[in-house]
Each structure stands twice: as C-alpha cells, then as structure tokens.
Amino acid sequence: MESSPNRVRPRLSRTFSRSRWSEYRRFLASAQDHGYALVPLEQWVRNGSPEDEERVMIMRHDVDQHPRSALTMAEIESDLGVRSSWYFRWRTAHPTVVADLRDRGFEVGLHYETLTRRALEGGDPESEQALSSSREELREEIAAFERIFGPIRSAVPHGDSRVPGVLNAELLRGEDCSLYGIEFDGNEAMRGRGIAHWLTDRTTAEGGWKDGTDPERLLAAGDSPILCLTHPNNWTSGAALWLDRILRGALPRGSRPELPTAGRPIHTGSDQPPR
C-alpha cells in the first residue's frame, strides 16, 4: 500500500529500512504469470516486440548507487530466465560487477551525467559553447567506457536532483548517436514508440512505485508495452547503502577492487571519468 504523500517519515528511516528483494522476485514472477515477455531495452529498441508475444515488459536498470545491489538483482533475474539492460554511472561502474553482468548475458551501457557534473563544478551548463564542449566530453567518456568495460550500444542520461533544471538528455537529443560511438540514447529511443506505461520504482523507505502505481493491477490489465525502469539500490537495505558510502570515503581510490562476497560492500569510485 502506498503511503500518504503528506506522511512525514521518521529520520533515517531509509537508512534502516529492510531490503525488498523477495518483493522484486514476486513482481517479476507475477509479470511472467500474466503472460508478459520480459525483454532487455536494447533488444526491444533494435527488434521491437516479439511477434508471438502480446504482452511485453521492457527491462532497464539504472545503477545510481551501491553497485553490489546490482549483483543481487541480476541473480534474481537469472534465476527466472530474465534478461535486461543495465546503465552504470562512473561512480558505480565497478569492474567486478560489470563483468558479472556481462557473463550472465546482460547488456551494459553508460549512465552519463556530463552536463550536470559541469554544473556541480561551477560551470555554465546552458550556453551553446557549454553544450558543444560537453558533447565532445561525452564522446570521450563513451570511448573510455568501452576501453575499460567493452563495447556498448547505448547510453542513457542520469537525472541529478542537486541541479534541477539541468538535463543531461540535452546532449544527445536530436544528435546522430553514431558520431558518439553508440547506436542510440535509451531515453530518446522510447519517444514515439507507443509505450503504454513507464513503471518506475521509488526511493522511499516504504518502497513501492512512483505515481502510486499498483503493478498487479497494471499487469492484470494487460497494458503493453510497459517500460520497467528500476534502480537496484532502491531494493536493498538502507544500512548497506550507508556502509558502502563510508567505505568509499575511507578507502584510497585506485585500491584493488574486492570480490563481492557475502556481507562485503563494494568500494565505489568517483563521479569523474578517467582522464
């Protein structure tokens, strides 16, 4: 049940909230039970809905924080035979995590934040000159991401709430993505494609979905295609997120990445791409 929008949550409730992985597993299983084919975003953009499927859910994940949470989500999907497209910020693009997802057959891309990063550094993100130089920087970022993690087909913009009104999506809107070394922008590719519903998770401790959407009612109605955009860190425990942040500040950058064993958070990196 969705909480009232006027409800005041206790301080640190997000930090000490429980993980919601069993809920995520039930959600995917329910979609399959309702006859939905769950397909990765990249596959759907390139090939459209499978001809023999009346109900389709397009799977996309933005790894905004806590990269270890992506491993848990990926394991659940693998168990259910689900494939999806994953987008990593520089701070969450941990080599062990990306390699694990690729080994499982998932698609990986860059979750770019070139323009908002410039704004946070005190630059002017709105002038034509800034847009031009940011586009060139994004080309370099995509090339660097490929050098480190392997070929990618797509990228998607990250929305940074710290700089409202500055949209990273402006960089690839109307652009020829082949000039940036990718096939498409995952947001722009959704435009005009007849998406029936954009289903996105919430960041609150109570969990749930944005706009008060009841996923069971949505699935029962048979709306298609549904774009399901989730963030793995929204489904893990808040305490684990804070521990990861503490380690990020305490451990030296460039230290050898630890293997993701049980109970051990993964040290995340910087918002800055490699120079």
pLDDT digits (tens, 9 = 90+) for 211-235: 889 999 999 999 999 999 999 999 9
pTM: 0.87
Structure confidence at residue 264 (pLDDT): 47
Tell me the domains of the chain and their CATH numbers: 21-250 (3.20.20)
3-state SS string for the chain: CCCCCCCCCCCCCCCCCCCCHHHHHHHHHHHHHCCEEEEEHHHHHHHCCCCCCCEEEEEEEEECCCCHHHHHHHHHHHHCCCCCEEEECCCCCCHHHHHHHHHCCCEEEEEECHHHHHHHCCCCCCCHHHHHHHHHHHHHHHHHHHHHHCCCCEEEECCCCCCCCCCHHHHCCCCCHHHHCCCEECCHHHCCCCCCEEEEECCCCCCCEHHHCCHHHHHHHCCCCEEEEECHHHCCCHHHHHHHHHHHHHCCCCCCCCCCCCCCCCCCCCCCCCC
Read off the pLDDT of each residue in 41-53 and give the average, rounded to a whole number.
90
pLDDT digits (tens, 9 = 90+) for 92-150: 999 999 999 999 999 999 999 999 998 888 877 778 888 999 999 999 999 999 999 99
Structure confidence at residue 162 (pLDDT): 85
Structure confidence at residue 14 (pLDDT): 56
